Amino acid sequence: MPGHVFHPGHEELHGITVVLNDPAGRTFVGRYHELGPRGVVLHDVAIHDPATTDLDRAEWLIRQRRFGVQVTQRLAVVPIADSQPIQRLADHG
């Protein structure tokens, strides 16, 4: 069944790995599920928290792109500002 998509009716970004920032300055990379009332629901999520790592955000993103998403959480809900663009990891950098 080449080209078959199992998830019809979802948002355009459903199933796409995206990069998001929350108001606390953390960066999330994960697979977009949906935009809910509390924020964007992501699956299989890697998180960069400047409060807990010395690794620069830009360098961290380069690593995610080169070696793949280093998943630390299966699910995250990320509150985002309405104005925040949602960028695909594939288009980042």
Partner 1 sequence: MPYDERLVGPMRAELTRLGITELKTVAEVDAKLGDPRGTQLLFVNSVCGCAAGAARPAMALALRHQVRPQALLTVFAGQDVDAAARARSYFADYQPSSPSIALLKDGEVVYFLHRYQIEGRGPDAIAADLKAAFDQHCTA
Residue numbers at the binding site for partner 1 (CB under 8 A):
1-7, 15-17, 31, 65, 67-71, 88-90
Q: How far is the CB of 86 from partner 1 (least distance, A)?
A: 13
Q: How far is the CB of 92 from partner 1 (least distance, A)?
A: 10
Local structure of 65: helix, strand or coil: helix
Q: How far is the CB of 39 from partner 1 (least distance, A)?
A: 20
For 68: left if phi > 0, alpha if psi spans -120 to 50, otherwise beta; the answer is left
| CB closer to partner 1, 67 vs 82 | 67
Alpha-helical regions (H) of the chain: 57-67
